A = this chain, B = another copy of it.
């Protein structure tokens, strides 16, 4: 009976997953192709789907099927498809079931209003238009935290609960340890770059690049990395993202800026990294919540690996330089691979996270992590936030924020009710460096392959060691499986950044 109940549970989960897939397409279309006037009916359609997904997934019937199939699950291999699926379903069910429908709707509404308030206030660079919407989002998320807190008395830190949505099982104390080390090692390197007196290396990526040629170039590059027309699409959007309709139907997006080479070139490699993760999940996990990355940190480790460890590395440019020159003979006719390597690695403090170099990027994240904790502990109030932000930017990056649009209002996350998400970006960088050490050890020809434009070795290694498992393992279990450790370690990233700064600004 118990096995039959599991089959019923699986069918229910597939149904919910199909609805989620439909919502994913509605969202993808909304952000890429939809005519402007489709916006209002699309929002209604997405709200209906979200409500229905929540209703079906958190129904008592789902709970009963989870309970009834437990004895079957206890009889099968812990690492089997069935056990992995059952665990993730039970985990999500228990979490979602705790939140009353009314609070869930309030959260959704506050996130929608918060997004609008954010967009308006950012355009006007006026924090006062954002303040109330932000406060509402924080207050509601505090309610969520206290509800979960009551059910999980052994949690060390309230912030762990916020993290859990994006990075299951991650502890705030682990992040603090890693980030402290990163901060300590990064700040002298930022100083070293500043004192080198080198600048202006990136002028060559700031000339004119016609959109159609950028489009042809990025298609050529991701085609070389592993993008195939039969299972991927590349479209344009205002804020690039990757999304999967199925393991065999991956949608990545990019944005072309005619006066800046980097955004589409590295942005597309970044989204390719996300897409490849979901493309290489084992087909047997399809139509279930296992058919996605293990966590946001794991996802970012993949996107940042292709963007930075591959795309901003010397070996890559040996292959890529002639390709780029073919597309942009006037802009890059006389550019050597080494000059290009220097240009795309130009470093220095800036206000905007998404435009930051590999070194200062993590400082931007650490600032957000610290402020999120202070906002939830009450150490910083919503009214104090802009000053607190500017003080941190001054302290960590040595620059003065000119206005709130380029400061506290630059990111969409808080307005949309996402707290605990930011740290996963820097953790992804840390993890990508940890993995890179192992990948290079096990693939001695990796860099000479890159010089020839061969990326199949890396792709296969990632597929076999990470991607195929989807989210069958919790993040730290996957780490142990892949690297044999259970702790995130900042040293490989510190070593990588130190070597890179010495190489470029030594």
Contact = CB atoms under 8 A, between A and B. Distances in A.
Interface in A20-50: 21-23, 25-26, 29, 33-38, 40-42, 44-45, 48-49
Chain B CB count within 10 A is highest, among A37, A40, A229, A248, for A37
Task: List the number of copies, as a whole number.
Answer: 2
Interface in A189-230: 229-230
Interface stretch (A11-19, A296-304, A482-490): A11-19
Interface residues of A, number: 38
A246 interface: yes
A36 B248 CA distance: 9
A250 B41 CA distance: 12
Contact of A19 (B21, B52, B246): B52
A27 to B, nearest CB: 11
A286 interface: yes
B41 A287 contact: yes
A107 interface: no
A249 B38 contact: yes
A354 interface: no
Contact of A15 (B48, B247, B287): B48
A42 B41 CA distance: 23
A6 interface: no
Contact of A35 (B29, B52, B248): B248
A151 interface: no
Given A22-B49, A41-B21, A45-B18, A34 B287 contact: no
A231 interface: yes
Contacts of A230: 35-37
A158 to B, nearest CB: 34
Contacts of A21: 41, 45
A241 interface: no
Contact of A41 (B23, B48, B229, B246): B246
A351 interface: no
A107 to B, nearest CB: 17
A111 B33 CA distance: 26
Nearest to A22: B22
Nearest to A14: B48
Contacts of A41: 21, 245-249, 286-287
A450 interface: no
B249 A44 contact: no
A249 B23 contact: no
Which 4 A-B pairs rank lowest in CB-CB distance, beginning with the nearest?
A: A38-B249, A41-B246, A18-B48, A37-B248
Given A15-B52, A25-B26, 7 more contacts: A35-B231, A36-B230, A36-B231, A37-B231, A38-B248, A41-B286, A41-B287
18 contacts: A14-B48, A15-B52, A18-B44, A18-B45, A21-B41, A21-B45, A22-B26, A25-B29, A29-B29, A35-B231, A36-B231, A37-B249, A38-B245, A41-B286, A41-B287, A44-B287, A45-B246, A52-B52
